[in-house]
């Protein structure tokens, strides 16, 4: 019935489009986006959505976006969440390129591959992401736009140097970039170093496995004339000895390199307006363990996981008037081997020669008619997956492990399935101040390789971090979401407000359910979890609302804010979806005068009682955090920043921060990870 209703809604809207008069010259778009701006050496135009160069993880920027937040498994391991969905359900691209995590637990989540200083902006599609925004956008889409080399009429040099210090964990950041520009060629080089120790919470307890050590370097070369742009770039990211207290292991190292080439050509004929293309390659090696940062672990339980991944990605897009036609896809390969450094005989093929490839074609039409604008898109996706045979050294002595090993190796592991996305975004301008947005979609997502090929009960679940052991299911069906989003936007020079409400019913939602295989239960019990889960298909419902607004009190004072609420429920049993952000609101008071500006923000979270019983999720208390920052512009190209995070030194545990699994910490295992104590920040940014 829900499918028929949605199909009727889309068909009705298409009929409405066909009955409209000829297209006008209006440039109004039916797609609403929230742009998180990188801090620059200018006075802020808004305090609603702005990045932070002081914190090491770009994912933190999402906390200023209505409907968005982050699952924080560690200081440099933020997983994007939008309207209750997270991980692989959200498309994430960096300057148009697909980034695939090497680690099976997303310790190197896609947004962690970004140097914050190199970010120009982070774009979050509000509501239902269009078909053109990514391959798997069932949970939304995020686009990170990096700074690129620029050209000049004559030889010119420019750049940026920044440094910062956080006193709560003795964290420091030193970053810089330089751009060399000529008539048609530009070269940009950058480097950064980010380091921090384990922090203390407001009660003075040291939270182990929260230190980090990260370096990034890169080059971007551009050729640009009136009609043709060609670019190539190299990015290297290294992370060492960094903690992830919400996961069963910490980062020993992550070593990754990305090579990209892209370009665009503007045509002067009547067939095509522009052609854009991209081609990328990434290789990553990731080592992790459960003993180097965590104490009280017996030698026999030491585990070291070495994971590797290589990814090729591509995209070609043709634009003509109101039409877009594109090809996009990636092909990734994954391996993961678990050993025990104190026992040379111990070895498990966690994932072996796993292939995860997704190829797609999309078409999008965006006509405008008088006060109406529409964006209709269709994406067809081919999902290919496979895995090699696996082996465990424990199979020789454990009949249950041997049974699981033989069953997996004897199964047909090859997958080749088609999925699709159908989206319709609409906007109606009621007046020059008021517009109405409404969108419908049917979207599908094929399972991740962890959900399919996790053959032995483990916690390698793409960063789920619920502490449960899981096994995969090769025969999982794709998720299918039926989505509706309704919004208003009222905008005047002094006041604006944009509320949205949304609803989606997800058929075949992939969720852990109690394992029934006796061999799985016996092996999981041996590993300490007598109630393992298996990834299976269920039905689920998510709904909620979010809003952003601002009010210009005076020429110098602006008040702004956001609020977000989402509810996620299982339809098969009386339970809630796991790790859903609670109701929260953020209010900013911004003052600007002459060569300085200051911002006082209050972020309040309600308690979260709608938790997942099956995932043993704990209820979390509500809290309010106050932050303050001031910027002083010493000269047009030099700014000094200072601020205090958690100004009132509030002791709290963010619901999305997860629970502690680091033994030897002053926090108990199973306790909610507490946030840092009051933090004094100083930073310096110089442009030349």
What are 505-520's pLDDT values in tens digits? 999 999 999 999 999 9
What's the pLDDT score for residue 114?
Answer: 87
The 3-state secondary structure of 199-220, one letter per residue: EECCCCCEECCCCEEEEEEEEE
Q: Is the pLDDT of residue 22 over 70?
A: no
Pick the more confident residue, 665 or 544. Answer: 544
Q: What is the dihedral of CA 551, 552, 554, 558, to 10 degrees?
A: 80
pLDDT band of residue 49 (cuts 50, 70, 90) is low
Comparing 60 with 332, the larger pLDDT belongs to: 332
d(CA 442, CA 451): 22
Can you give the pLDDT at residue 4? 43
pLDDT at 40: 60
Q: How confident is the model at residue 47 (pLDDT cuts 50, 70, 90)?
A: very low
Quick check: pTM over 0.85? yes
Residue 16 pLDDT exceeds 70: no
Residue 2 has pLDDT above 90, yes or no: no
Mean pLDDT calculated for residue range 306-331: 97
CA 464 to chain centre: 13
Q: How far is CA 657 from CA 61, 72, 357, 465, in A?
A: 15, 5, 31, 10
Is the pLDDT at 271 greater than 50? The verdict is: yes
In whole angstroms, give the CA distance from residue 683 to residue 688: 17
Give me 85's structure tokens: 């969905």
Mean pLDDT for the chain overall: 92
| pLDDT at residue 50, rounded to an integer | 61
Measure the N-to-C terminal CA separation of the chain; round to a whole number of Å: 61
Rounded alpha-carbon distances, angstroms, from residue 80 to 77, 304, 457, 488, 554: 10, 26, 26, 25, 35
Q: Pick the closest to residue 249 from 461, 22, 27 (CA basis).
A: 461
What is the rounded CA–CA span in Å between residue 595 and residue 564? 34
148: left (phi over 0), alpha (psi -120 to 50) or beta: beta
Percent of the chain with pLDDT over 90: 86
User: For 269-414, where are the E strands, in sequence order?
Assistant: 274-289, 304-320, 323-340, 343-365, 368-369, 372-386
CA quadruple 254, 452, 133, 259: dihedral sign: positive
User: Is pLDDT above 60 for 8?
Assistant: no
Range of the domain at 171: 2-687
Per-residue pLDDT reduced to its tens digit, 206-252: 999 999 999 999 999 999 998 999 999 999 999 999 999 999 999 99
Mean pLDDT across 164-173: 94
Look at residues 139, 149, 150, 8 and name the one whose alpha carbon lies nearest to residue 82. 139
Longest dimension (CA), the chain: 75
The pLDDT of 614-628, averaged and rounded, is 96
CA distance 469 to 248: 11
Q: Per-residue confidence at 10, pLDDT binned at 50, 70, 90?
A: very low
Distance CA 303, CA 346 (A): 9
Q: How far apart are CA 98 and CA 143, in angstroms?
A: 10
Question: What is the radius of gyration, based on Cα positions, of the chain?
Answer: 25
Q: Please tell me the distance from the alpha carbon of residue 637 to that of residue 183, in angstroms, as a whole number.
A: 24
What's the whole-number mean pLDDT along residues 522-549? Answer: 97
pLDDT at 493: 92
Strand, helix or coil at 131? Answer: helix
Greater pLDDT, 663 or 6: 663
Over residues 64-88, the pLDDT tens digits come to 999 999 999 999 999 999 999 999 9
Q: How does strand 185-196 pair with strand 228-242?
A: unpaired
Q: How far apart are CA 580 and CA 562, in angstroms?
A: 18
Identify the CA nearest to 661 among candidates 302, 211, 290, 201: 290
Position 3 confidence tier, pLDDT thresholds 50, 70, 90: very low
Q: In the numeric block, which tokens belong to residue 613?
A: 């019983």
Question: Residue 627: is its pLDDT beyond 60?
Answer: yes
H runs (alpha helix) in 358-423: 399-410
Containing 425, the helix (H) or strand (E) segment is strand 415-429
- In 170-303 the beta strands, taken as DSSP E runs, fall at 171-181, 185-196, 199-200, 206-207, 212-224, 228-242, 250-266, 274-289
Query: CA 568, CA 564: separation in Å to the nearest integer?
Result: 13
Q: pLDDT tier at 19 (50, 70, 90 boundaries)? A: very low
Say how many domains are in the chain: 1
pLDDT category of residue 397 using cuts at 50, 70 and 90: very high
Q: Are 201 and 623 in contact (CB under 8 A)?
A: no
Q: What is the pLDDT of residue 39?
A: 67
Q: Which pLDDT does position 664 carry in this prediction?
A: 87
Least confident of 45-59, 315-329, 651-665: 45-59
Rounded Cα distance, 159 and 155, in Å: 14
Alpha-carbon gap, residue 616 to 611, rounded angstroms:
8
CATH at residue 275: 2.40.170.20
pLDDT tens digits, one per residue of 275-295: 999 999 999 999 999 999 998
Distance CA 682, CA 674 (A): 23
Q: Within 13 Å and on the Cβ side, how many CA atoms surround 640?
A: 3
Question: Considering only CA atoms, which of 274, 212, 284, 283 is closest in space to residue 243?
Answer: 212
Question: Reduced to 3 states, what is the DSSP secondary structure of residue 650?
Answer: coil
């Amino acid at each position: 019935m829900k499918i028929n209703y949605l199909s009727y809604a889309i068909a009705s809207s298409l009929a409405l489009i066909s009955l409209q008069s000829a297209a006008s010259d209006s440039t109004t778009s039916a797609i609403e986006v929230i742009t998180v701006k990188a801090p620059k050496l200018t006075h802020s135009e808004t305090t609603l959505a702005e990045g932070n160069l002081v914190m090491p993880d770009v994912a933190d920027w999402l906390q200023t976006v209505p409907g968005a937040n982050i699952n924080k498994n560690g200081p440099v391991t933020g997983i994007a969440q939008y309207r209750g969905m997270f991980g692989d359900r959200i498309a994430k691209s960096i300057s148009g390129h697909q980034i695939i995590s090497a680690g099976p637990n997303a310790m190197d989540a896609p947004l962690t591959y970004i140097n914050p200083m190199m970010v120009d902006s982070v774009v979050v599609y509000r509501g239902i992401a269009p078909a053109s925004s990514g391959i798997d956008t069932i949970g939304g889409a995020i686009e990170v736009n990096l700074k690129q080399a620029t050209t000049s009429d004559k030889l010119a040099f420019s750049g940026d140097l920044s440094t910062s210090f956080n006193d709560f964990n003795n964290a420091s950041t030193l970053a810089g970039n330089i751009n060399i520009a000529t008539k048609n060629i530009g070269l940009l080089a950058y480097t950064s170093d980010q380091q921090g120790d384990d922090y203390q919470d407001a009660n003075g307890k040291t939270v182990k496995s929260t230190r980090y050590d990260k370096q990034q370097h890169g080059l971007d070369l551009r050729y640009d004339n009136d009609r043709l742009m060609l670019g190539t770039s190299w990015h290297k990211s290294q992370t060492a000895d960094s903690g992830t207290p919400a996961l069963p292991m910490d980062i020993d190292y992550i070593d990754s390199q990305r090579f990209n080439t892209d370009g665009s050509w503007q045509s002067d004929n009547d067939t095509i307006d522009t052609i854009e293309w991209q081609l990328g390659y990434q290789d990553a090696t990731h080592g992790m363990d459960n003993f180097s940062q965590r104490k009280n672990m017996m030698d026999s339980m030491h585990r070291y996981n070495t994971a590797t991944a290589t990814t090729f990605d591509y995209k070609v897009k043709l634009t003509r008037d109101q039409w877009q036609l594109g090809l996009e896809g990636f092909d990734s390969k994954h391996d993961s081997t678990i050993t025990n450094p104190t026992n040379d005989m111990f070895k498990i093929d966690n994932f072996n020669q796993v292939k995860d490839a997704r190829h797609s074609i999309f078409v999008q039409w965006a006509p405008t008619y008088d006060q109406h604008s529409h964006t209709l898109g269709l994406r067809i996706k081919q999902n290919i997956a496979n895995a090699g045979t696996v082996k465990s050294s424990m199979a020789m002595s454990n009949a249950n492990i041997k049974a699981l090993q033989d069953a997996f190796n004897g199964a047909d592991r090859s997958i080749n399935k088609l999925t699709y996305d159908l989206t319709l975004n609409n906007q109606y301008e009621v007046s020059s101040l008021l517009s109405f947005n409404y969108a419908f979609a049917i979207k599908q997502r094929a399972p991740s390789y962890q959900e399919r090929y996790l053959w032995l009960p483990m916690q390698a679940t793409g960063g789920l971090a619920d502490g449960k052991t899981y096994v995969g299911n090769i025969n999982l069906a794709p998720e299918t979401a039926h989505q509706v989003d309704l919004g208003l936007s009222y905008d005047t020079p002094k006041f604006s407000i944009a509320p949205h409400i949304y609803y989606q019913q997800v058929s075949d939602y992939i969720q852990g359910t109690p394992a029934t295989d006796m061999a799985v239960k016996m092996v999981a019990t041996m590993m300490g979890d007598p109630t393992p889960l298996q990834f299976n298909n269920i039905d689920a419902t998510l709904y909620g609302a979010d809003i952003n607004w601002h009010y210009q009190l005076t020429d110098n004072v602006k008040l702004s804010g956001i609020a977000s609420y989402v509810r996620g429920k299982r339809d098969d049993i009386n339970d809630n979806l796991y790790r859903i952000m609670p109701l929260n609101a953020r209010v900013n008071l911004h003052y600007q005068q002459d060569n300085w500006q200051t911002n006082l923000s209050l972020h309040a979270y309600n308690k979260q009682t709608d938790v997942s019983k099956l995932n043993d999720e704990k209820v979390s208390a509500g809290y309010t955090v106050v932050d303050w920052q001031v910027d002083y512009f010493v000269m047009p190209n030099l700014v000094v920043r200072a601020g205090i995070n958690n100004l009132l030194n509030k002791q709290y545990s963010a619901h999305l921060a997860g629970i502690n699994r680091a033994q030897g910490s002053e926090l108990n295992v199973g306790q909610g990870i507490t946030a840092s104590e009051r933090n004094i920040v100083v930073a310096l940014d110089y442009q030349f």
